Amino acid sequence: MSLVPMKDLLLKAEKEGYGVGAFSVADMEMILGAVKAAEELQLPMILQIAQVRLPYSPLDKIAPMMAAAARNASVPVAVHFDHGLDIEMIQKALDLGFTSVMIDASKLPIDENIRITKEVRKIVDRYGASVEAEVGQLGVSEDGSGDASKIHSDPKEVKLLYEETGVDAIALSIGNQHGFYKAAPVLNFDILDEANDLVPVPLVLHGGSGISDPDFRKCISRGITKINVATATFCAVKDAAAEYLKNEKTDYFSMSDAMMHGAYENIKRHMQVFSMK
Protein backbone atom coordinates (compact mmCIF):
# COMPACT_ATOMS: atom_id res chain seq x y z
CA MET A 1 0.00 0.00 0.00
CA SER A 2 2.49 2.69 1.05
CA LEU A 3 4.99 4.46 3.13
CA VAL A 4 2.91 6.83 5.27
CA PRO A 5 3.49 9.49 7.96
CA MET A 6 3.23 7.95 11.44
CA LYS A 7 0.61 10.50 12.46
CA ASP A 8 -1.88 9.07 9.93
CA LEU A 9 -1.57 5.55 11.38
CA LEU A 10 -1.84 6.70 14.97
CA LEU A 11 -4.88 8.95 14.52
CA LYS A 12 -6.83 6.17 12.77
CA ALA A 13 -5.82 3.66 15.47
CA GLU A 14 -6.76 6.07 18.26
CA LYS A 15 -10.18 6.62 16.71
CA GLU A 16 -10.79 2.91 16.19
CA GLY A 17 -9.39 1.79 19.57
CA TYR A 18 -6.40 -0.37 18.70
CA GLY A 19 -2.65 -0.01 19.12
CA VAL A 20 0.02 0.20 16.43
CA GLY A 21 3.17 -1.83 17.00
CA ALA A 22 6.47 -0.06 16.38
CA PHE A 23 9.00 -2.81 15.79
CA SER A 24 12.74 -2.20 15.94
CA VAL A 25 14.71 -3.83 13.14
CA ALA A 26 18.44 -4.30 12.63
CA ASP A 27 18.74 -6.23 9.37
CA MET A 28 16.90 -7.56 6.34
CA GLU A 29 15.62 -10.70 8.10
CA MET A 30 13.81 -8.58 10.69
CA ILE A 31 12.40 -6.21 8.07
CA LEU A 32 11.07 -9.14 5.99
CA GLY A 33 9.64 -10.90 9.06
CA ALA A 34 7.93 -7.72 10.27
CA VAL A 35 6.29 -6.93 6.94
CA LYS A 36 5.22 -10.56 6.48
CA ALA A 37 3.40 -10.41 9.86
CA ALA A 38 1.69 -7.10 9.04
CA GLU A 39 0.60 -8.26 5.58
CA GLU A 40 -0.75 -11.53 6.90
CA LEU A 41 -2.78 -9.75 9.59
CA GLN A 42 -3.61 -6.85 7.23
CA LEU A 43 -2.69 -4.38 9.96
CA PRO A 44 -0.65 -1.16 9.76
CA MET A 45 2.77 -1.11 11.41
CA ILE A 46 5.76 1.07 12.21
CA LEU A 47 9.28 -0.08 11.32
CA GLN A 48 11.87 1.68 13.44
CA ILE A 49 15.53 1.87 14.33
CA ALA A 50 17.07 3.72 17.28
CA GLN A 51 20.09 5.98 16.90
CA VAL A 52 22.11 3.84 19.40
CA ARG A 53 21.83 0.88 16.98
CA LEU A 54 23.46 2.62 14.03
CA PRO A 55 26.99 1.33 14.76
CA TYR A 56 25.59 -2.12 13.84
CA SER A 57 23.12 -1.07 11.14
CA PRO A 58 24.42 2.07 9.37
CA LEU A 59 21.59 4.44 8.58
CA ASP A 60 22.48 4.99 4.93
CA LYS A 61 22.31 1.20 4.35
CA ILE A 62 19.30 0.19 6.43
CA ALA A 63 17.08 3.23 5.73
CA PRO A 64 16.62 2.49 2.00
CA MET A 65 15.75 -1.12 2.87
CA MET A 66 13.18 -0.06 5.46
CA ALA A 67 11.64 2.51 3.12
CA ALA A 68 11.49 0.05 0.20
CA ALA A 69 9.83 -2.59 2.39
CA ALA A 70 7.24 -0.02 3.49
CA ARG A 71 6.61 1.25 -0.06
CA ASN A 72 6.02 -2.28 -1.35
CA ALA A 73 3.91 -3.54 1.56
CA SER A 74 0.21 -4.29 1.07
CA VAL A 75 -0.57 -2.41 4.32
CA PRO A 76 0.31 1.14 5.49
CA VAL A 77 3.77 1.28 7.08
CA ALA A 78 5.53 4.25 8.71
CA VAL A 79 9.33 4.29 8.97
CA HIS A 80 10.43 5.86 12.25
CA PHE A 81 13.79 7.07 13.60
CA ASP A 82 13.63 6.02 17.25
CA HIS A 83 15.35 7.90 20.12
CA GLY A 84 16.94 10.54 17.89
CA LEU A 85 19.63 12.18 20.00
CA ASP A 86 20.79 15.03 17.79
CA ILE A 87 19.37 17.21 15.06
CA GLU A 88 22.04 16.22 12.53
CA MET A 89 21.06 12.53 12.60
CA ILE A 90 17.37 13.37 12.59
CA GLN A 91 17.87 15.48 9.48
CA LYS A 92 19.79 12.60 7.85
CA ALA A 93 16.96 10.16 8.62
CA LEU A 94 14.42 12.54 7.06
CA ASP A 95 16.62 12.95 3.97
CA LEU A 96 16.69 9.14 3.66
CA GLY A 97 12.89 8.96 3.61
CA PHE A 98 11.85 8.33 7.23
CA THR A 99 8.25 9.44 7.73
CA SER A 100 8.63 9.98 11.45
CA VAL A 101 11.31 10.83 14.00
CA MET A 102 11.59 10.84 17.76
CA ILE A 103 13.60 13.55 19.46
CA ASP A 104 14.62 12.19 22.82
CA ALA A 105 15.54 15.18 24.94
CA SER A 106 13.86 13.64 27.98
CA LYS A 107 17.03 13.73 30.10
CA LEU A 108 17.01 17.53 29.95
CA PRO A 109 14.85 19.86 32.07
CA ILE A 110 11.41 20.32 30.53
CA ASP A 111 12.17 23.85 29.20
CA GLU A 112 15.22 22.56 27.30
CA ASN A 113 13.28 19.49 26.12
CA ILE A 114 10.60 21.83 24.75
CA ARG A 115 13.15 24.14 23.07
CA ILE A 116 14.88 21.28 21.20
CA THR A 117 11.61 19.56 20.33
CA LYS A 118 10.34 22.85 18.82
CA GLU A 119 13.46 23.06 16.67
CA VAL A 120 12.94 19.48 15.45
CA ARG A 121 9.26 20.17 14.76
CA LYS A 122 10.22 22.99 12.40
CA ILE A 123 12.58 20.75 10.42
CA VAL A 124 10.20 17.80 10.33
CA ASP A 125 7.35 19.98 9.03
CA ARG A 126 9.37 20.69 5.88
CA TYR A 127 9.22 16.94 5.09
CA GLY A 128 5.55 16.37 6.01
CA ALA A 129 6.75 13.81 8.56
CA SER A 130 5.69 13.22 12.18
CA VAL A 131 7.43 13.90 15.51
CA GLU A 132 7.43 11.96 18.78
CA ALA A 133 8.88 13.46 21.97
CA GLU A 134 9.33 12.01 25.45
CA VAL A 135 8.48 13.36 28.89
CA GLY A 136 9.93 11.59 31.95
CA GLN A 137 12.76 9.09 31.78
CA LEU A 138 12.88 5.35 31.21
CA GLY A 139 16.37 5.20 32.68
CA VAL A 140 18.13 2.54 30.63
CA SER A 141 18.50 3.05 26.87
CA GLU A 142 17.47 0.38 24.34
CA ASP A 143 21.06 -0.93 24.18
CA GLY A 144 21.28 -1.29 27.98
CA SER A 145 23.41 1.84 28.55
CA GLY A 146 22.47 4.63 30.94
CA ASP A 147 21.27 5.01 34.48
CA ALA A 148 18.64 2.50 35.66
CA SER A 149 16.73 5.04 37.75
CA LYS A 150 13.50 6.01 36.08
CA ILE A 151 11.61 9.25 36.47
CA HIS A 152 7.89 8.94 35.93
CA SER A 153 6.29 11.45 33.57
CA ASP A 154 4.62 14.46 35.14
CA PRO A 155 1.27 14.85 33.33
CA LYS A 156 1.49 18.65 33.71
CA GLU A 157 4.80 18.60 31.82
CA VAL A 158 3.21 16.36 29.17
CA LYS A 159 0.52 19.02 28.69
CA LEU A 160 3.07 21.84 28.59
CA LEU A 161 5.25 20.07 26.02
CA TYR A 162 2.23 19.31 23.85
CA GLU A 163 0.93 22.89 23.98
CA GLU A 164 4.34 24.40 23.23
CA THR A 165 5.45 22.03 20.45
CA GLY A 166 2.35 20.43 18.89
CA VAL A 167 4.14 17.07 18.55
CA ASP A 168 2.24 14.15 17.01
CA ALA A 169 2.93 11.61 19.78
CA ILE A 170 4.34 11.68 23.33
CA ALA A 171 6.21 8.83 25.03
CA LEU A 172 5.54 8.38 28.75
CA SER A 173 7.46 6.84 31.60
CA ILE A 174 4.90 5.02 33.78
CA GLY A 175 7.02 2.16 35.14
CA ASN A 176 7.99 0.79 31.71
CA GLN A 177 11.65 0.14 30.96
CA HIS A 178 13.81 -0.80 27.96
CA GLY A 179 15.13 -4.38 27.82
CA PHE A 180 13.72 -7.42 29.59
CA TYR A 181 12.29 -6.65 33.06
CA LYS A 182 14.07 -8.11 36.09
CA ALA A 183 10.70 -8.25 37.89
CA ALA A 184 7.21 -7.98 36.42
CA PRO A 185 6.64 -4.29 35.56
CA VAL A 186 4.11 -2.39 37.63
CA LEU A 187 2.60 0.29 35.42
CA ASN A 188 1.18 3.46 36.94
CA PHE A 189 -2.17 3.79 35.18
CA ASP A 190 -3.05 6.95 37.15
CA ILE A 191 -0.28 8.84 35.34
CA LEU A 192 -1.47 7.45 32.02
CA ASP A 193 -5.09 8.46 32.72
CA GLU A 194 -4.10 11.94 33.82
CA ALA A 195 -1.87 12.52 30.79
CA ASN A 196 -4.53 11.12 28.48
CA ASP A 197 -7.10 13.54 29.92
CA LEU A 198 -4.78 16.51 29.46
CA VAL A 199 -3.59 16.02 25.86
CA PRO A 200 -5.47 15.01 22.69
CA VAL A 201 -2.38 13.47 21.12
CA PRO A 202 -1.61 9.70 20.85
CA LEU A 203 0.60 8.41 23.69
CA VAL A 204 3.52 6.01 23.32
CA LEU A 205 4.65 3.08 25.47
CA HIS A 206 8.33 2.21 25.13
CA GLY A 207 9.84 -0.95 26.61
CA GLY A 208 7.23 -3.36 25.23
CA SER A 209 9.34 -6.51 25.72
CA GLY A 210 7.98 -8.31 28.77
CA ILE A 211 4.80 -6.32 29.39
CA SER A 212 1.84 -8.69 29.88
CA ASP A 213 -0.95 -8.98 27.32
CA PRO A 214 -3.59 -7.71 29.81
CA ASP A 215 -1.38 -4.66 30.58
CA PHE A 216 -0.93 -3.97 26.85
CA ARG A 217 -4.72 -4.04 26.41
CA LYS A 218 -5.29 -1.88 29.48
CA CYS A 219 -2.76 0.68 28.17
CA ILE A 220 -4.38 0.78 24.72
CA SER A 221 -7.85 1.25 26.20
CA ARG A 222 -6.48 4.21 28.22
CA GLY A 223 -4.68 6.26 25.56
CA ILE A 224 -1.54 4.37 24.47
CA THR A 225 -1.60 4.14 20.66
CA LYS A 226 2.01 3.33 19.73
CA ILE A 227 3.85 0.47 21.44
CA ASN A 228 7.58 -0.09 20.92
CA VAL A 229 9.03 -3.60 20.89
CA ALA A 230 12.73 -4.28 20.32
CA THR A 231 14.46 -6.71 22.73
CA ALA A 232 11.86 -9.45 22.32
CA THR A 233 12.39 -9.45 18.55
CA PHE A 234 16.20 -9.41 18.78
CA CYS A 235 16.03 -12.39 21.19
CA ALA A 236 13.52 -14.27 19.03
CA VAL A 237 15.83 -13.91 16.01
CA LYS A 238 18.93 -14.96 17.99
CA ASP A 239 17.09 -17.97 19.47
CA ALA A 240 15.77 -19.00 16.05
CA ALA A 241 19.33 -18.98 14.67
CA ALA A 242 20.62 -20.96 17.67
CA GLU A 243 17.83 -23.51 17.27
CA TYR A 244 18.52 -23.86 13.55
CA LEU A 245 22.24 -24.37 14.17
CA LYS A 246 21.45 -27.46 16.26
CA ASN A 247 20.72 -29.25 12.96
CA GLU A 248 23.37 -31.64 11.72
CA LYS A 249 23.51 -30.02 8.30
CA THR A 250 23.22 -26.27 8.04
CA ASP A 251 23.50 -23.63 5.37
CA TYR A 252 23.44 -19.84 5.47
CA PHE A 253 20.21 -19.31 3.55
CA SER A 254 18.15 -21.71 5.67
CA MET A 255 19.52 -19.97 8.77
CA SER A 256 18.54 -16.59 7.34
CA ASP A 257 15.04 -17.95 6.71
CA ALA A 258 14.84 -19.26 10.29
CA MET A 259 15.85 -15.81 11.58
CA MET A 260 13.22 -14.09 9.43
CA HIS A 261 10.68 -16.55 10.86
CA GLY A 262 11.79 -15.80 14.42
CA ALA A 263 11.11 -12.08 13.87
CA TYR A 264 7.81 -12.81 12.11
CA GLU A 265 6.43 -14.96 14.93
CA ASN A 266 7.32 -12.52 17.69
CA ILE A 267 5.97 -9.52 15.79
CA LYS A 268 2.78 -11.29 14.73
CA ARG A 269 2.08 -12.31 18.33
CA HIS A 270 2.42 -8.71 19.52
CA MET A 271 0.37 -7.30 16.64
CA GLN A 272 -2.48 -9.67 17.43
CA VAL A 273 -2.59 -8.40 21.03
CA PHE A 274 -2.35 -4.73 19.96
CA SER A 275 -5.24 -5.22 17.48
CA MET A 276 -7.58 -5.63 20.53
CA LYS A 277 -9.52 -8.37 18.70
Residues in contact with ligand 13P by CB under 6 A are 24, 50, 82-83, 142, 178-179, 206-209, 228-232
CB of residue 180 to ligand 13P, shortest distance in Å = 7
- CB nearer ligand 13P, residue 191 or residue 232: 232
CB of residue 50 to ligand 13P, shortest distance in Å = 6
- CB nearer ligand 13P, residue 51 or residue 165: 51
- CB nearer ligand 13P, residue 168 or residue 244: 168
**Residue in 8, 27, 82, 193 annotated catalytic:** 82
- CB nearer ligand 13P, residue 215 or residue 244: 215
CB of residue 33 to ligand 13P, shortest distance in Å = 15
CB of residue 57 to ligand 13P, shortest distance in Å = 14
CB of residue 74 to ligand 13P, shortest distance in Å = 25
Residues facing 133 on adjacent strands:
103, 170
CB of residue 233 to ligand 13P, shortest distance in Å = 8
Task: Count the neighbouring beta carbons within 10 Å of the beta carbon of residue 180.
Answer: 11
- Three-state SS across the chain? CEECCHHHHHHHHHHHCCCEEEEECCCHHHHHHHHHHHHHHCCCEEEEEEHHHCCCCCHHHHHHHHHHHHHHCCCEEEEEEEEECCHHHHHHHHHCCCCEEEECCCCCCHHHHHHHHHHHHHHHHCCCCEEEEEECECCCCCCCCCCCCCECCCHHHHHHHHHHHCCCEEEECCCCCCCCCCCCCCCCHHHHHHHHHHCCCCEEECCCCCCCHHHHHHHHHCCEEEEEECHHHHHHHHHHHHHHCCCCCCCHHHHHHHHHHHHHHHHHHHHHHHCCC
Residues 6 or more apart from 137 whose CB is under 8 A from it?
106, 107, 149, 150, 151, 173
- CB nearer ligand 13P, residue 165 or residue 228: 228
- CB nearer ligand 13P, residue 208 or residue 262: 208
197 catalytically annotated: no
Cite the active site residues: 82
